[in-house]
A and B are shown apart, each in its own frame.
Chain A
Amino acid sequence: MARPKDDRNASLLALTSSALLLPAYQCAQADAPPEFTELGMRYSKYDEDDILARKAFGGGSERYEIDVAQFHLLAPVADQWSVALDVAWEDMSGASPWFVGESASGSPKVIMSGASIEDTRTEVSGTTRYYYDRGNAGINYTYSDEDDYTSHAVAVDGAFNSEDGLTTYSAAVSTSHDNIDPTQGSIPTNTLNARKDINSVWMGVTRIVSKRALLRFGLSYTYRDGFLTDPYKGDDRRPDERKEWAASTGYRHFFEAPNAALHVDYRYFNDDWDVESHTVDVAWEQNLPQNFRVTPFIRYYTQQEAEFFYNIEEPGYEHFSDDYRLSAFGAFSYGLRLRHDFGNWSVNFDAERYKTDESWGIYSGEESPGLVDFWRYGFGLDYIFR
């Protein structure tokens, strides 16, 4: 509660001295916790295309697939707080590129690890958030556990609105301590036990542009330190340090005639491994009658290869990786989300197709035979305790 200022009194006195003419009925705002408890559950399937026979020794073979179950709970607590619990279970199976070799014709081909990977991952994440008059602040702890990998991470974030509420300043810091303990099986691993730390800072500004448009900018810096090599790849030797920068911008615009919102997001990424990338995401959130919403989306991604990426190793390289993820390529993905709200329930489906090709990128480089295409499907159900 605030005591009135004199100028406010003056404006009311002026108002009360003239009749206030309003039709009567019978009957961005300050930051506030969610009004109701929300519960969400989701199942997703991630399915990589088979690797083509011409790109692999030993013929085409299945790649990787993941089944994911997610649980989400968000609840207001004691007026100015909220707590959230997120749990994810992943069941992974299939094969991954092991290493790249030169075929008789001279073209590089991958050797797959064989259908040897079987792993499950559990991630538990808890967040508590405090809402003050002009913003909010949260702290999050996330624990992730796999057969061969554990991670503990803590993140703190805050947002602060300008007095007119038109601008929001946000910041976040996070730290993660990970332990890698590769499963010993049919293929030799690059380490028996190793650690890595990831520290990240982020700053963002969001601005109301008009009654129907929002704009934001963000800048992040991430420092990775430790064993950054892939433990399962044939001969993989990466630097034990990585410094990454990302600058991003996003725009939202509502169109009244079609009753739809346009989402556009862009990210520029750059690191000291010589990787540089551009990502563009565009989505159209189209409201339909009867509380249906359909959202087509497209994404384009292009990256420059890491300075130590080669398909075939030559003697004398200090660092080396033939991992397709460090090669130059372009990726297009497109998909659709469908959502229907009824009463306190919301149900949603989504599907996405992701395809890669070296020639789709804006950067040139050696084409990796290991590039991946995949499908992703999801089904979710949300409930609000109103």
Chain B
Amino acid sequence: MSAAAQVSLDSLRGKVVYVDFWASWCGPCRISFPILQQLRDELGPEGFEVLAINLDEDESDARQFLADVTVSYPVVRDAAGVTPRAFGVMGMPTGYLVDRAGVVRVIHQGFRKSDGEPLRASIVELLGE
């Protein structure tokens, strides 16, 4: 990672984006990572992207987690908690599925293994719009 690198949601406009708020200490977050990676591998070429926003207070906790669970989608960090406040995050993890126009269409709180299928269906639907 490079501390200077930054990601803007604007730069992802035109794609269907799953904005995932997570932390290393959150159990269901660990379950969600491989599933999100799989969805991105499959649907990435059609315009799907995951943007994971890490909310750990201690950056080393996040790094340790990512050493363990590697993903190829962008993971950014917001230690100040500006974005989760703006999105109105009510639990960990919370994911926001944003359509090509930049509008939040689905809010997904918590994460279970069986959530992958319905989430995939929602993504496919938004990709087809």
Interface residues of A (CB under 8 A from B): 1-4, 7-9, 11-17, 19-30, 32, 34-35, 79-80, 133, 163-165
With both chains docked as a complex, state the minimum distance between the C-beta of A207 and any C-beta of chain B, in angstroms. 17
Assess whether A32 is in contact with B27, with CB atoms less than 8 Å apart.
yes
Assess whether B112 is in contact with A23, with CB atoms less than 8 Å apart.
no
Question: How many chain B residues have a CB neighbour from A under 8 Å?
Answer: 55
Grouping DSSP codes into helix (H, G, I), strand (E, B) and loop, the A interface class, with mixed when no group exceeds half, is: loop
How far, in whole Å, are A292 and B72 apart by their CA atoms in the complex? 33
Assess whether B88 is in contact with A11, with CB atoms less than 8 Å apart.
yes
From the candidates B5, B28, B76, B83, name the one contacting A30 in the complex (CB within 8 A). Answer: B28
Q: Beyond A15-B9, A29-B28, A35-B30, is A8–B75 a contact (Cβ under 8 Å)? A: no
How far, in whole Å, are A28 and B83 apart by their CA atoms in the complex? 18
Assess whether B91 is in contact with A23, with CB atoms less than 8 Å apart.
no
Complex contacts, A26 vs chain B, CB 8 Å: 1, 72, 74-75
Complex contacts, A165 vs chain B, CB 8 Å: 90-91
Assess whether A29 is in contact with B118, with CB atoms less than 8 Å apart.
no
From the candidates B6, B13, B96, name the one contacting A22 in the complex (CB within 8 A). Answer: B6
With both beta carbons as reference points, the residue of chain A lying nearest to B25 in the complex is identified as: A29
Contact bitstring B56-80, A, C-beta under 8 A = 1, else 0: 0000001100100011101111100
Q: Beyond A11-B88, A79-B114, is A20–B9 a contact (Cβ under 8 Å)? A: yes
Assess whether A16 is in contact with B122, with CB atoms less than 8 Å apart.
no
Assess whether B102 is in contact with A80, with CB atoms less than 8 Å apart.
no
Assess whether B104 is in contact with A12, with CB atoms less than 8 Å apart.
yes
- Does B124 sit at the interface, judged by CB under 8 A? no
**9 tightest CB-CB pairs across the interface, nearest first?**
A30-B110, A25-B1, A22-B76, A24-B5, A29-B92, A19-B8, A25-B75, A16-B102, A30-B91
From the candidates B3, B9, B87, B90, name the one contacting A163 in the complex (CB within 8 A). Answer: B90
How far, in whole Å, are A27 and B36 apart by their CA atoms in the complex? 13
With both beta carbons as reference points, the residue of chain A lying nearest to B88 in the complex is identified as: A8
Q: Which of B88-121 contact A (CB under 8 A)?
A: 88, 90-93, 96, 98, 102-110, 112-115, 118-119
Complex contacts, A7 vs chain B, CB 8 Å: 88
How far, in whole Å, are A22 and B7 apart by their CA atoms in the complex? 6
Complex contacts, A20 vs chain B, CB 8 Å: 6-10, 83
Complex contacts, A4 vs chain B, CB 8 Å: 96, 104-107
From the candidates A21, A34, A80, A133, name the one contacting B109 in the complex (CB within 8 A). Answer: A133
Contact bitstring B28-45, A, C-beta under 8 A = 1, else 0: 101100000000000000
Assess whether B102 is in contact with A30, with CB atoms less than 8 Å apart.
no
Assess whether B91 is in contact with A1, with CB atoms less than 8 Å apart.
no
- Does B16 sit at the interface, judged by CB under 8 A? no
How far, in whole Å, are A165 and B5 apart by their CA atoms in the complex? 34
Complex contacts, A32 vs chain B, CB 8 Å: 27-28, 110, 112
With both beta carbons as reference points, the residue of chain B lying nearest to A11 in the complex is identified as: B86
